[in-house]
C-alpha cells in the first residue's frame, strides 16, 4: 500500500468535504457533510463560521477513520474554499462577531453604488482587476464594521481579524497562531492590488478598514502553518480559492487554457499567463495562483446561480426529488422547449453585472410541465456559459477549440451535450470531476516535492468528449430567446 497521501479540504458553499489522494493522484476516499444556509432577509445569505469549522473537522476525522490512514502517512494538507465569503472574528476570544456573509449576499449593493459615485470604478478595475459589486469581500467587511455594535472600535484597536474561509480554517487548525491567506483568495477581496501583490492602502482608506484586520498574503504553494493530529504535525502546504484550484486541477497550466466548473455557481476561467489582462467585456481579472516564485493570472466570468438552480427545483419547487432526476426529465422532452428560466436569484454576474436583476420564467403555456421547467433550468447554465465565453474570447483574442469541465453538474450528460451544442465546441469531461479538490492536492504536492507540473499534466484522463450536434439555425434561435429573456429580468428591483 502506498504510504504517502495528501488530504484535500474542500470547503464549499453548501458542504464541507475531505478527500484522500495518493501518490498517483487517485482519490482513495471522500467524506462530505452539508450545512445550513441562513437567509435572514431577502437577498441576504449567511453561514455560521463555527458550523463550517466543525463540519470540516468532522469530515476530516471520518476520512481518517474510514480509510484507516495514519497521521504520519499524510505528507501535506491542501485547502480550497468558497471565495469572497467573509468572516470577522475577535482575535482575543477566537469567536466571530457576526455570521459569515456569503459571496451570494446582496446587502451591500447600495454601498457599492456609493463607491461608484465616488469615481472609484476605474481605480478598482486597474488595481484589483475586479468590478465594484457586493459579490466581493471588501464591502461585506465594511457592513460588519458599520452594523455590529463596537466592531469599528475593536477594529481600530487591532483586535479584529478578517478572513475568507481559508483564513478562518487555518486560524483554528493552527490553534489560533496563524493569520494568513494566499494570492488567489486575496485577489477576491476588492482590497488587494494584483499588480504590486500588496493590500491597497487607498481602498482600505475608502472603506475605513484597518490594515491590522487583514491576513498576511503568501503564494498559493507555501507552508501556511502546521496542523497537529494525534501528535503528528502536518504542513498545510497549499491554499487556493475553489475556482483557481479547479483551473490548476484541470491542468490549465498554459496561457489560453480554460475550464468551466459547475458548482453552486458556475465559473469559467482562462489562464492568461504572467501578466494581468483587463477585460472590456464585463469579465474580471484575478490571480490564478502563485507557485515556484511565479504568479499566474486569469480572466474569469462568474455565474452566481448554477447548481443552486437545480437545488431550487428540488427544495423550493419540489419539481424533482434528487439532482440526477433533472437529467431524466430533460431527456424526456424530445421537442424544442419554448420555456426559458433565468436564475438571477442573486442578480446577474458576468458579463452583465446587474445586482438588481431577479429570477424569472418565460414562455409558459397551459401545457407547460415539470419537464419543460427542469430542461429550461439546465439549459440556463449552458446559456450563461456561452455569454461568458463570447466575452472571454473577445478579451483574450483566443478562440477556444474546446472547453474542459468539472464540478457536480458536469456529471449530467444532458447538460454537457447541450453545452457542446450551444457553444458549437467540444466539451471535455475528465474521469474525475473533482478538479477543485485535486487542484489543492496537486499544489500541496508541489510544495512538499511529491509532484511536478509535468506530473499533473500526465495524470489527467478523459472520461467523455461531447461534440456539438445541432444546426447553426437552431443554435442561433435558442440563444436569441435566451438573450431576450435575460433583458427582461434586468434592473427588476429598480423599477
- Residue list for the binding site for glycerol: 83-84, 135, 242-243
The contacts of residue 432 (CB under 8 Å, 6+ apart) are 27, 438, 461
Considering Cα of 404, then 297, then 194, then 168, what sign does the dihedral take? positive
DSSP letter string, 71-104? GGGEEEEEEEE-SS-BEEEETTT--BSSPEEPTT
The contacts of residue 81 (CB under 8 Å, 6+ apart) are 10, 11, 12, 164, 165, 166, 169, 185, 239, 241, 242
- Local structure of residue 215 (DSSP, 8 states): P
User: Which residues carry a binding-site annotation?
Assistant: 13-15, 17, 83-84, 135, 242-243, 264, 307, 311, 408, 412
The contacts of residue 119 (CB under 8 Å, 6+ apart) are none
Cα-to-chain-centroid distance, residue 495: 30
The contacts of residue 284 (CB under 8 Å, 6+ apart) are 129, 130, 131, 299, 300, 301, 302, 350
Question: What's the CA gap between 74 and 76, in Å, rounded?
Answer: 6
User: Which residues carry a binding-site annotation for ADP?
Assistant: 13, 17, 264, 307, 408, 412
Q: Which of 205, 210, 202, 206 is nearest to 156 (CA)?
A: 210
Beta bridge partners of 16: 11, 33
User: Which residues carry a binding-site annotation for sn-glycerol 3-phosphate?
Assistant: 13, 83-84, 135, 242
**C-beta neighbour count of 348 within 10 angstroms:** 26
| Residue recorded with cell 442578480 | 347
In the chain, DSSP finds a helix count (H) and a strand count (E) of 16, 23
Cβ–Cβ < 8 Å for 142, 115: no
Beta bridge partners of 341: 361
Question: What's the CA gap between 323 and 73, in Å, rounded?
Answer: 36
Backbone angles phi, psi at 271, to 5 degrees: -65, 120
Pairing of strands 74-81, 46-47: unpaired
User: Which residues carry a binding-site annotation for ATP?
Assistant: 13-15, 264, 307, 311, 408
Question: What's the CA gap between 391 and 483, in Å, rounded?
Answer: 14
**All three cell numbers of 473:** 439555425
- Local structure of residue 34 (DSSP, 8 states): E
Question: What's the CA gap between 356 and 166, in Å, rounded?
Answer: 29
Peptide bond into 351 cis (omega under 30): yes
**All three cell numbers of 119:** 469615481
Amino acid at each position: 500500500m502506498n504510504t504517502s497521501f495528501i488530504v484535500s479540504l474542500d470547503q464549499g458553499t453548501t458542504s464541507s468535504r475531505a478527500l484522500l489522494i495518493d501518490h498517483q493522484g487517485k482519490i482513495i476516499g471522500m467524506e462530505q457533510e452539508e450545512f445550513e444556509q441562513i437567509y435572514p432577509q431577502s437577498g441576504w445569505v449567511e453561514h455560521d463560521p463555527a458550523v463550517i469549522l466543525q463540519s470540516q473537522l468532522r469530515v476530516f476525522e471520518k476520512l481518517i477513520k474510514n480509510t484507516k490512514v495514519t497521521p504520519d502517512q499524510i505528507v501535506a494538507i491542501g485547502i480550497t474554499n468558497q471565495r469572497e465569503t467573509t468572516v470577522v472574528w475577535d482575535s482575543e476570544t477566537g469567536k466571530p462577531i457576526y455570521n459569515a456573509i456569503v459571496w451570494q449576499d446582496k446587502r451591500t449593493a447600495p454601498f457599492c453604488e456609493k463607491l461608484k459615485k465616488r469615481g472609484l470604478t476605474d481605480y478598482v478595475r486597474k488595481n484589483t482587476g475586479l468590478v465594484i459589486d457586493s459579490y466581493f469581500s471588501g464591502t461585506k467587511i465594511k457592513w460588519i464594521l458599520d452594523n455590529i455594535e463596537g466592531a469599528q472600535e475593536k477594529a481600530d484597536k487591532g483586535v479584529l481579524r478578517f478572513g475568507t474561509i481559508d483564513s478562518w480554517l487555518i486560524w483554528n487548525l493552527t490553534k489560533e497562531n496563524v493569520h494568513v491567506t494566499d494570492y488567489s483568495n486575496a485577489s477576491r477581496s476588492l482590497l488587494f492590488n494584483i499588480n504590486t501583490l500588496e493590500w491597497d492602502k487607498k481602498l482600505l482608506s475608502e472603506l475605513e478598514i484597518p490594515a491590522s484586520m487583514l491576513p498576511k498574503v503568501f503564494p498559493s504553494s507555501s507552508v501556511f502553518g502546521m496542523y497537529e493530529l494525534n501528535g503528528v504535525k502536518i504542513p498545510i502546504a497549499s491554499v487556493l480559492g475553489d475556482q483557481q484550484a479547479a483551473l490548476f486541477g484541470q491542468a490549465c497550466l498554459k496561457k489560453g487554457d480554460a475550464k468551466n466548473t459547475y458548482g453552486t455557481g458556475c465559473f469559467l476561467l482562462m489562464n492568461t499567463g504572467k501578466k494581468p489582462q483587463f477585460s472590456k467585456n464585463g469579465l474580471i481579472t484575478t490571480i490564478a495562483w502563485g507557485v515556484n516564485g511565479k504568479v499566474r493570472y486569469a480572466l474569469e466570468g462568474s455565474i452566481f446561480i448554477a447548481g443552486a438552480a437545480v437545488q431550487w427545483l428540488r427544495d423550493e419547487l419540489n419539481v424533482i426529488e434528487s439532482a440526477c432526476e433533472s437529467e431524466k426529465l430533460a431527456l424526456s422532452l424530445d421537442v424544442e422547449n419554448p420555456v426559458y428560466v433565468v436564475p438571477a436569484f442573486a442578480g446577474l454576474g458576468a458579463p452583465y453585472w446587474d445586482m438588481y436583476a431577479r429570477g424569472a420564467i418565460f414562455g409558459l403555456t397551459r401545457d407547460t410541465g415539470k419537464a419543460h421547467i427542469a430542461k429550461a433550468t439546465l439549459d440556463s447554465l449552458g446559456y450563461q456559459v456561452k455569454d461568458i465565453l463570447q466575452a472571454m474570447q473577445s478579451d483574450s483574442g483566443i478562440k477556444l477549440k474546446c472547453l474542459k469541465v468539472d464540478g457536480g453538474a458536469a456529471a449530467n450528460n444532458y447538460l454537457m451535450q447541450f453545452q457542446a451544442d450551444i457553444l458549437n465546441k467540444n466539451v471535455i469531461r475528465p474521469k474525475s470531476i473533482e478538479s477543485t479538490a485535486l487542484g489543492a492536492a496537486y499544489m500541496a504536492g508541489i510544495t512538499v516535492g511529491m509532484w511536478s507540473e509535468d506530473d499533473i499534466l500526465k495524470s489527467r484522463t478523459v472520461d467523455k468528449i461531447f461534440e456539438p450536434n445541432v444546426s447553426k439555425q437552431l443554435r442561433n434561435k435558442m440563444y436569441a430567446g435566451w438573450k431576450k429573456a435575460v433583458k427582461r429580468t434586468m434592473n427588476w428591483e429598480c423599477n
